[in-house]
A and B are shown apart, each in its own frame.
Chain A
Amino acid sequence: MGKYPTEPLKLWNKAKELRQKFYENYAKAHDKGGLRYAGGAWTFDAVPFGLGQDVYSLTSEPYGASCAYNKEFSLRCLEAAEGYGYARDLCSYMRNYWGSILINEYAFGGPFPRPDFIWQDHICCSHAKWYQTMSELEGGIPMYCVDVGVGAAPPFGQLKPHKIDYVAGQILDGIDWLEKVTGRTFNDELYIEACWNDFRSTHTWAKVCELNQTVPASLDEKTLYSLYVLATLSKASKWCADFYEELYDEVKDRASRGIAAVVNEQARVMSDTQPPWAFLKVFRYLEEYGCVSVGSLYTFGLEGMWDYTEDKGLTPRPMPVQRPTSREEATRMLVDWHLRKPEYQHFYSPEYKSKLMIAICKQWKLNGVMLHYNRGCEGLSLGIAENRLAIQEAGFPVMTFEGNMGDEREFDEARTMARVDAFMETLGIKRVGRA
């Protein structure tokens, strides 16, 4: 008999189905004359929605993670990419993705479906280059990429008009480009609707994560991964926004009734960066100690939209007051919204991310932090050593473990579990078993 009551998440299966459908839709896009494109989790996916209701995407990073999850498939992909000449220390999602193209196998069955165009964003060194190479591997695909590296957002920096102009300008140029490349006329209504869905998805996801401040936490991070992924796939789609609103109701109910993800919860931690996808059992192992990872800046803020102030900490960013009424207005709102993304700020200084992480430690009532020194992603591991120092200085114990989100050859399971044991000992947490 555990300390707390628990229940499975009712919407669990629906989340899985939505994800499966997303990947099927991309593969089958041409069947009824639709279009398909490839782009990253941070791309302005609201924009291609303006080309019609039959435009489907394949999102880079979650696809890379899907490859990584299947160790045998992943190894073949990675070796293919390395055989082509790309170094092993490059982004492991990217190498899985390229490998999938090189061996011409789609992780969800069949040959790799070639996109009609590429619609991407760029903030880390690899983003645009990923697709430049993809285009080369596929013999040339029209590509457009929007640079978002304009500087930190409030409260860390000012989003001056010229910064919005630059990003919005690129998007508006990109819309003209999309019309040329696809031969379709851009529909501003559909675009505005997609922007609004984007705001809904990312706002609501933050609200879901906020609910995890309760003790016990009603969701654990391993579950969160299966839920947040939908926003990475297609935040600007209606189905994603609708699902998150449904999810919010269920999680609110769980939290209010004291339902626990880990029945013997006696300690709470957070992680950071993408997890080692082939070794999510680390989270199950934590449960032996009654320890729950309640989330991370990664799960909360990769897509979730938050406001941060020194005194209030992190709060879900409120929806815009009014829907935009024109293409230009929608674009500027979209840009302003996304430039404030929590996971953009550390690109300008680790100090900003440290503040956000410390806020999570306080607000989500954590005993400690587990940092994944992720060799597979330069962008999210950027500044992680300084984050570690700052979190410690703020009084929260930190453990680190080295690994790779997408290359399982770089993860030492036994050593990592030993470190978890040592960390639990330092926190004075004893094993209690899972149920």
Chain B
Amino acid sequence: MIEMFQEWYQARHEYAREWKKKNPGGKVVGFFCTYVPEEILLAADILPVRILGSHEPQNVTEPHIFGMYCPFCRDCLAQGLEGRYDYLDGVMIAQSCLHIRQAFTSWQKHVGTPWSYYLPMPHHVQSEDRAVEFYAAELNDFKKAVEDWTGRKIGDDDLKRGIEKMNKSRQAMRDLYELRKRPNPPLSGLEAMYAAVTEQWIDKNEHAVVVRQAIDRELDKRDLGLGGKTRLMLFGSEDDDTAFVKMVEGSGSVIVIDDHCTGSRYFWNDTILDGDDPLTAIARRYVNRPPCPTKDWPERRRLAHVLKLAKDWNVAGAIVIQQKFCDPHELDIPEQRRNLEKNGIKTLMLELDVTVPVGQFKIRVEAFLETLSEEDLF
């Protein structure tokens, strides 16, 4: 069951194409950031598909995105320009960082996906009610745009359906992550990464079923011998570099928790109705979720969240996966590192590109693990 996630990861485009065949007339919308309110897409029975890069060198984005912007956003755009997402009916973004925004706007102009939407997700999430009110109104406009496009109305019941579907999927993933708290985690960080990242493009119900089955039938008694390994956390920009994660764990560690753009931030909190109308509830969920650094001000609320994850999952150290040139995370990382180190959690900083020098990184990771195990002696 757990290997299903890896299969899905390696055949990502095939899944969406199959889905379209099985759901004639069904629409697939590519999205660029986890702030996109998929509840509304699900309410319209649309399949949302997170657009990610392929970790291959490319030479097609230079005319469109200046090289000083992160390799990830260029890798994403390259997928579109190379025609790999030609099955998309629409593409959208919820406003977060500047870099990925360019992947979206260049995609709009050059890739030919028929429908697109730019959703101004607010940055002042700490203004709470102001941001919620604003975002609820934007979501209302967005909902209308989806209705116009699909030709069908989205009522409150549809929205509730979408909310429930998202929440179920999120809860399943949180339960899966909960298992990683165990002293002998029944799944590796790589396996968890496959599960987390595929949640972002597989039908949520289908994905949740496999997660549940894995939890109920496979993982409970599973022993991978990870009990003696050094427990690590990954945090930072975006990471779905499987070669990198394999190398880190192959060096004598197990990754038990994360906070990054293709990991736990995606499913960490639910949409709760609690007396609100569905759109306001959805707005509230995205305003209150673990924030992207661009939305974490004036207070640094991410510090407490990341530290709590580290403590609750009992990690010895954290690897900072900094996507080269990623400003939002570069603005957070110095304070994050200080905060973790002050609380007894050592950190290693690595700068990632679409491909990484695995050999050189291995030396650093091994050295880092050695410093962590030295602590155990005392």
List CB contacts (< 8 Å) of A367-393 with chain B.
373, 375, 378-379, 381-386, 389
A170 partner, pick from B64, B105, B130, B332, beta carbons under 8 A: B130
Q: How far is the CB of B129 from chain A (nearest CB, A)?
A: 9
B127 partner, pick from A147, A149, A162, A165, beta carbons under 8 A: A147
Contacts of B63 in A (CB 8 A): 385, 389
Q: Is B298 an interface residue (CB 8 A)?
A: yes
- Residue total for B at the interface (Cβ-Cβ under 8 A): 45
What 1/0 flags go to A125-165 for Cβ under 8 Å of B?
Answer: 11011011101100000011111011100000000101101
List CB contacts (< 8 Å) of B115-134 with chain A.
118, 120, 122-124, 127, 130-131, 133-134
Contact B66 A381 (CB under 8 A): yes
Question: A124 to B328, alpha carbons, bound, how many Å?
Answer: 10
Query: Which residue in chain B gives the minimum CB-CB distance to A152?
Result: B118
The 5 closest A-B pairs by CB, nearest first: A85-B334, A147-B124, A162-B137, A166-B134, A128-B297
Contacts of A321 in B (CB 8 A): none
Contact A125 B327 (CB under 8 A): yes
Q: Is A87 an interface residue (CB 8 A)?
A: yes
Contact A382 B123 (CB under 8 A): no
B: residues with CB less than 8 A from A are 62-66, 68-69, 95, 97-99, 101-102, 105-106, 108-109, 118, 120, 122-124, 127, 130-131, 133-134, 137-138, 141, 293-294, 297-298, 300, 325, 327-328, 330-335, 337
Contacts of A170 in B (CB 8 A): 124, 127, 130
Interface segment among A6-14, A191-199, A345-353, A420-428: the answer is: A345-353
Contact A149 B122 (CB under 8 A): yes
Q: How far is the CB of B299 from chain A (nearest CB, A)?
A: 8
Known: A129-B293, A149-B122, A150-B134. A379 touches B98 (CB 8 A): yes
Q: Is A90 an interface residue (CB 8 A)?
A: yes
Contact A378 B99 (CB under 8 A): yes
Q: Is A30 an interface residue (CB 8 A)?
A: no
Interface contacts (Cβ under 8 Å), in number, total: 133
Q: Is A113 an interface residue (CB 8 A)?
A: no
A166 partner, pick from B68, B69, B108, B122, beta carbons under 8 A: B122
Q: How far is the CB of A60 from chain B (nearest CB, A)?
A: 15
Q: How far is the CB of A379 from chain B (nearest CB, A)?
A: 7
Question: A400 to B217, alpha carbons, bound, how many Å?
Answer: 60
Question: A351 to B116, alpha carbons, bound, how many Å?
Answer: 14
Contact B98 A149 (CB under 8 A): no
Query: Which residue in chain A gives the minimum CB-CB distance to B70?
Result: A89
Contacts of A147 in B (CB 8 A): 122-124, 127, 131
Query: Which residue in chain A gives the minimum CB-CB distance to B64?
Result: A385
Contacts of B66 in A (CB 8 A): 373, 381, 384-385
Query: Which residue in chain A gives the minimum CB-CB distance to B134?
Result: A166
Q: List 23 A-B contacts (CB under 8 A).
A: A85-B333, A87-B330, A91-B327, A122-B123, A125-B98, A125-B293, A125-B327, A126-B327, A129-B293, A132-B297, A133-B331, A146-B124, A147-B124, A149-B95, A149-B122, A150-B122, A173-B127, A350-B106, A378-B327, A385-B62, A385-B63, A385-B64, A389-B64
Q: How far is the CB of A405 from chain B (nearest CB, A)?
A: 13
Contact B105 A386 (CB under 8 A): yes
B325 partner, pick from A89, A136, A173, beta carbons under 8 A: A89
Contacts of B328 in A (CB 8 A): 125, 129
Question: A91 to B130, alpha carbons, bound, how many Å?
Answer: 29
Q: How far is the CB of B305 from chain A (nearest CB, A)?
A: 16
Q: How far is the CB of B131 from chain A (nearest CB, A)?
A: 7
A386 partner, pick from B109, B118, B133, B331, beta carbons under 8 A: B109
Q: Is A86 an interface residue (CB 8 A)?
A: yes
Contacts of A169 in B (CB 8 A): 127, 130, 133
Contacts of A131 in B (CB 8 A): 297-298
Contacts of A151 in B (CB 8 A): 118, 120, 138
Q: How far is the CB of B90 from chain A (nearest CB, A)?
A: 16
